[in-house]
Chain A
Amino acid sequence: MRYGSAPRLKKDLITLGIVSVAYLAASAFVSNSYYQLIMTLVPIWALFGVSWNILSGYGGQLSFGHASFFGIGAYVVTLALVYWNLTPWFGIPLGMIVAAGAAILIGLPTFRLKGHYFALSMLAYPLAILYFLQYLGFQEMSLPMHRENPAAFLEFTNPHYYTLVGVVLLILGVFVSMLVENSRFGLALLSIRQNELAAEAAGIDTKLWKMRALVVSGMLAAAAGGFYACVLLVVTPDSVFGMLVSAQAVVVTLFGGVASIWGPVIGAAILVPLAESLNAELGNILPGIQGVVYGVAIIAIMLASPDGLFWTIRDKYFIPKPPAPLPRSLAANAPSIAQPAAAGSLLMKVEGLSKTFGGLRAVSGVTFDVRAGEILGIIGPNGAGKTTLFNLLNGVLSANEGTAVLGGQSMLGKKVHAVARMGVGRTFQVVRSFPRLPLLDNVIVGAYGAGFTDTDAIASAAHALERVGLSDQAGTPAGQLTNKQLRLMELARALAGAPRVLLLDETLAGLGRDECDDVLDVLQRLRTEGTTVVIIEHTMHAMMRIADRFVVLDHGRVLASGLPRDVVENRSVIEAYLGKKWAAKQDA
């Protein structure tokens, strides 16, 4: 569980209990079977929204084709009932299993795509399945009626029971969503959503977590679809695989609040009755007008509250209490690296590393060593290939030639998160934070990435915050931090994974002189604690203060390396930085 999740979970569970009981009590008073049907549809669409929210809300992987899983659930229930006389009580779980399989099949190729491309490809699956089912002749499947023992086939003469089943399914779905949100699963998804590269660099296997999210999400959607079939009685491909079905999941969630447990529930509770009553009241008077009114209502509310009702209401009326500072004892149990390398021993060896982009040799035959406990400064003018070098070392780019070995293991040819797992911490030239998450969660992502258990991860993150001096801000969302604090946060995130070596990319960029000094102090302190650092920087005076050795890059090549004093007096370094004229002046 995430830090501080226990009280939140408890509060949410109590709310869930109260809301469910109140809803069921209200439904008991509804005697009109049509209104009862609406009360059954609300939890179904809410559950579908909850399922979409796991992948697309928390994980940020926008899916416009969630009807695939909804429809699979519906069709498995229907076909199993028609051909095997299998009761929907088993049909729904079976549908969930089939949907899990489908999620893997869909995820494997589709997660190769990102952003809009992912969203668009997801859109294609339900459409393809729709035509396939039509081709197979399943245009219209009616669920056979059972006059004897109807309850065994999820058929009730009393419509209240349908509402009950719907609510129970929704409770299960919301509970799964709570577990996800409050565990490392949710944190991994949130970090992927906010910055996939940062999550990957912190050691999160983004592809695996995305796949897990798709499977869980697909199973919940199938449960919603399977039960929907029982309520629908006649299943057509359009009614469960259609564009509007996918849109329903997106609409209820965006309307209610993305990446919150309650968002889809709120959205469905408002929109489903609204749409149905518009249909009932206006549809007969002016056919089609209900769609217009519905659309206008959605646009108006989205304009007033773009993040969804839940967040707007929460930000307005329930201002979250400032978080309590972290207890000091938390940091004491932080885990450390298993076998720290002896100071001065060879930790990392890079030989002949090269990378070309077309005709441009961005990094060319770069060779250097990193010794345990030192701060190695990588300097060079803009465009020298410093960041490219880091990207090669932590797996963002793949090298054309050369080797890079950390403690006897090759760093090349691995995914970013796998390199992170080897003990390579990384920060970025432009800070990559998770702005909505509190500082502590931003840092914990790094600890999860290193594979720590929940308690170890919290302790390690607390310890890392202490080391960079941000313990007091642990509860502040990253979006509210200053630039310096963000730099230190990134440093802490890298430290939280107890790395063997830290790759810092222009940690001082954009900082004022005083801020610079503060960060340098932190780095000094880290060195005395035995942390190995490779840092890119081009402010020479700062580097002179902290670096033990320099490697100078220019046009992708190593120009010079050695002790700082020797390097800055090197003629070719002066030429590279200041030009030939300056070098000539020096000589004279």
Chain B
Amino acid sequence: MTDLSRRSTVGLGLAAGAAALSSRRARAQTPSEVKIAMLVPLSGPWARQGILEQMGARLAIEDINAAGGIKSMGGARMKLIEYDTQDSSEKAKDAAQRMVAQEPDLVGGFGCWLSSFTLAATEVTERVSLPWLTLSYSDAITGRGFKHVFQSSPTADKQADELLPMIVELAGRARSGWKPTKFAYIGDNTASSVSFMKSIRGPAAAALGLTLVADEVYTPPLSDATTMIQHIRSTKPDFLGFQSTNVPDDKLLVDKFAEFNLKSDKLPKIGGGGHWAVPELLNVAGAENLEGILVALANWPGKRQADLEKRFMAKTGEPWFGHDSIFAYVHVMILKEALERTGVADRVKVSEAIHALDMTDGPALFFPDGTLKYDEKGRRVGAKLCVVQWRKGKPVPVYPPSIATSEVIWPKI
């Protein structure tokens, strides 16, 4: 044992020496380094989402540096500086403050997954003119007149407006022109759900010929869904929407519907938000009960990224490449593209370059709509919802056709 450990110690020492040498050589070859920041929850209740972003971002950095870094800057390598928001918006803001103080030569960054954290952190980044990309949904993020914040997702309001027409379109496509007329919703009363439901209950549904026949609201955490599901069943909707906001509630709802023999082959269901397509939900709810559930999200890698997905899964051991990871990947790519165009590590120029982007290739292909252009508010023009469907324990992209690897399945009831 001792012998072995001595040998391995020597080995470690040699390896370390070699690494030191090779890194010195690497530094000599490449002229400089460009730093970008990632500020996401790496501890606390949202850590899992942050780690998924971290995986995507690290892969992007590797890909860029392996391909020769930033060519317009003589092959400068990109470096990712990681910061943890922890578990509250003050701490997120605090981390942002620390980040801009400790890393004065940052040229851009992205984060912080949760809208509240992003709202707080961008108050800091905006004041130092640091270009900041985010996947967060809240309209408030780009509603404050900030110049250096870029929101790549469709905003929450836009998602709510788009959702019902999209569902009608999906149903029509799957069942050749058939139109649903009755639908039900079940959701919690958190701030984002309340604002989302306001739009769902509005006149848009009527314009599509839809009637909201059951509208169930609960206070999270959900303890029992029986009475709500009984009511929903009695109203016989054509489909059901979930506006839950966490995995435990999702699981309870899915289990309960299965218990009532209302799996998705009897009642089509659509959930909203990234938590409906994470491996954790599969672990607790099981493939059988999830089968057929549709999930509307702001981004998903599709057939265009089949190769990238394979590399991601091989490298990380994750069962699939999802919403959080692809956003981090594309945000690094956008920053790289802006740096290529400016040719200097200047954050204001990088911000201007992101504003000036208008692409349908390169990083644009990591979005379902295949376009990359931000408006004057910093919202991505053309950002659209996409849909994945649970099939045999895996979310499969089914909409829009640009990413779909399979057609949507809508049961005939």
Contact = CB atoms under 8 A, between A and B. Distances in A.
B88 A284 contact: no
A279 B94 contact: yes
Interface residues of B, number: 31
B191 A137 contact: yes
Interface string B45-80: 001000000000000000000000000000000000
Contacts of B93: 232-234
Interface in B130-148: 140, 144-146
Nearest to A234: B120
Interface band, chain A: 20 to 34
B86 A283 contact: yes
A29 to B, nearest CB: 15
Interface stretch (B98-106, B322-330, B396-404): B98-106
A232 B44 CA distance: 21
Interface in B97-122: 97-98, 100-102, 116, 119-120
B116 A233 contact: no
A137 B194 CA distance: 11
Interface string A279-295: 11001100110000000
Contact of B43 (A33, A232, A276, A288): A288
Contacts of B44: 287
Interface string A155-179: 0010000000000000000000000
B126 A145 contact: yes
A440 B102 CA distance: 56
Interface string B251-275: 0000000000000000000000000
B127 interface: yes
A32 interface: yes
B42 A287 contact: yes
Contacts of A284: 42, 82-84
B288 interface: no
21 contacts: A34-B101, A34-B102, A36-B101, A37-B97, A139-B116, A139-B191, A140-B119, A142-B144, A143-B123, A145-B123, A145-B146, A233-B93, A234-B90, A234-B120, A236-B116, A239-B90, A276-B94, A279-B91, A279-B94, A283-B43, A287-B47
B246 interface: no
A260 B90 CA distance: 31
A238 B47 CA distance: 20
Contacts of A279: 91, 94
B199 interface: no
B89 interface: yes
A236 B86 contact: no
Interface in A134-150: 137, 139-140, 142-145
A37 B84 CA distance: 18
Given A137-B191, A140-B116, 10 more contacts: A32-B101, A33-B100, A36-B101, A140-B89, A140-B140, A145-B126, A234-B123, A280-B98, A283-B84, A287-B84
Nearest to A140: B116
Contact of B98 (A34, A236, A288): A34
The 4 closest A-B pairs by CB, nearest first: A287-B43, A34-B101, A233-B123, A234-B120
Of A144, A233, A288, the most chain B CB neighbours within 10 A belong to A233
A132 to B, nearest CB: 15
Contacts, number: 77
A368 interface: no
A112 to B, nearest CB: 34
A137 B189 CA distance: 12
B124 interface: yes
B90 A232 contact: yes
Contacts of A577: none
Nearest to A147: B145
Contacts of B126: 145
Contacts of B89: 140, 234, 236, 239
A125 interface: no
Nearest to A288: B43
Interface string A260-289: 000000000000000010011001100110
A33 B44 CA distance: 26
Contacts of A287: 42-44, 47, 84, 86
A35 interface: yes
Interface in A5-47: 32-37
A55 to B, nearest CB: 25
Nearest to B43: A287
Nearest to B82: A284
A333 B97 CA distance: 63
Interface in B169-209: 191
A101 to B, nearest CB: 27
Contact of A35 (B47, B86, B100, B101): B101
Contacts of A145: 123, 126-127, 144-146
A139 B191 CA distance: 8
Given A34-B102, A279-B94, A288-B43, A234 B88 contact: no
Of A32, A144, A157, A284, the most chain B CB neighbours within 10 A belong to A284
Contacts of B146: 145
Contacts of A34: 97-98, 100-102
Given A140-B119, A233-B123, A236-B116, A33 B90 contact: no
Contacts of A142: 119-120, 123, 140, 144
Nearest to A276: B94
B102 A32 contact: yes
Nearest to A144: B144
Contacts of B123: 142-143, 145, 233-234
Interface string A98-118: 000000000000000000000
Nearest to B100: A33
Nearest to A280: B98
A272 to B, nearest CB: 12
Contacts of A157: 127
Contacts of A143: 123
B213 to A, nearest CB: 28
